[in-house]
Chains A and B, each alone.
Chain A
Amino acid sequence: MQTSEPELKAWMISGLGGDAAAHACLLRALIPMLRGFFRRRMPGQGAAIEDLIQETLIAVHTRRATYDPQRPITGWLFAIARYKMIDQFRASSRYCSIEGLEDMLVTEGFAEASDAATDIDRLLDDLSPKQAAVIRATRLEGLSVAETAARERIGESDVKISVHRGLRLLATRVKDSLR
């Protein structure tokens, strides 16, 4: 299961302040996220993926001073993961040429992705905590209705209704803001 952005951020900030336990929590939580990230992009390369995960963890650790607490941590993390992945492709020089690296990194658009994450956070803030939680679980983290119901300790029909009402509310908010 994915750890939420605020939780990761809180660990990161405590870690930057010198809390080794929080930093270890952060690194542990990143492993499944990175595994998902690399698996989607490099299907069927299990061993390479495990190496990349460790490389990325080391980079996150040694270069944690480059994290800006004003910005989303997932944007920062995946930017590092993507860089490490492309670096590895380049080293094995099977998948892409050295020349195109900048363009690939630019066009992948981290800034847009992190801005989008911030926008989603802002929109979900307008909803009730329950609606926000179930929308996050079902639509962003990709859990099933049953898993969400179990995690949030509410009924399955309640999950469905909350998602439906929440999304309808969001749709009207967005429409209003565009008008």
Chain B
Amino acid sequence: MTSEELIERLTRDFRPVQRHALGWRLCAGLGLGAAVSFLLVVRLGFRPDLWIAMHGFAFWMKWVYTASLGACAVAATAKLARPDTPPLSWLWVLAMPVLGLAAISVAELAHAPSDHWLEMWLGRSWKVCSSTVFLLSLPIFAGLLWSFRRLAPTRLRAAGATAGLTAGAWGATLYCLHCPEVSAIFVLTWYSLGIGLASLAGALLGPRLLRW
């Protein structure tokens, strides 16, 4: 096929691209995946005291932590979805929520007698927390993979890692609706572990799954 024939074929039934198409595409993938994860959380069951917890500090501490990681990760994913990715040096801001939560953890531990520390760290659900966060991230990651089918990442490993981080952070945000744990050190350890696993998986799979 000559290039002229190719151009002829490509411009036949030509359709305009709506403005912010890239953003919409990412939001659609993220939203579809999050809807599936939300149904999984519904199946797990909301924590019974959800309404009361939403009036307290611990619940919002967890949400602010996971949602701020999620927001940064979405922004980075949107940048990496373009072939000419601008520098991502601003990603150091991801350290802010982590350091903030670490400060709260230290303050909480300092105010508690030391024989409570182990209990605060392990809570009642440390065995399932990270793996549930990771599982809840899978539908979101799949949604983002669908988004990427029309996008053009050129740094596949980085794009996979930020997609995994996005999925992990939003999976964790949804998991907050189920998980009744309240201590900062618990969230800092087990939530972060689940989110970290999701981004690691993304980084490992990125070069294979995001090729175009």
Closest to B20 in A: A65
- Select A66's contact among B4, B10, B22, B158, beta carbons within 8 Å: B22
Contact with B along A50-69 (1 / 0, CB 8 A): 10011001110111111110
**Chain A: interface size category:** 35 or more
Are B11 and A27 in contact, with the CB atoms below 8 A?
yes
**Contact assessment for A82 and B154 in the assembled complex, using a CB-CB cutoff below 8 Å:** yes
- B6:A110 contact, CB within 8 angstroms: no
Q: Which of B4, B14, B154 contacts A23 (CB 8 A)?
A: B14
State the total of A-B contacts with C-beta under 8 angstroms.
93
**Closest Cβ–Cβ distance, residue A14 to chain B (whole Å):** 10
Count of B residues near A, CB < 8 Å? 33
- Binding site secondary structure of chain A: helix
Whether B152 lies near A63 (C-beta < 8 A) is yes
**B155-A105 in contact (CB<8A):** yes
CB of B113 within 8 Å of the partner chain: no
Nearest CB in chain B to that of A18: its residue: B16
Interface residue stretch chosen among B40-48, B76-84, B130-138, B190-198: B76-84
- Interface flag for B25 (CB, 8 Å): yes
A75 to chain B, nearest CB (A): 5
Let me know if A16 is at the binding interface, CB within 8 A: yes
Can you give 7 A-B contacts (C-beta < 8 A)?
A18-B16, A24-B11, A28-B4, A54-B1, A58-B6, A71-B86, A102-B157
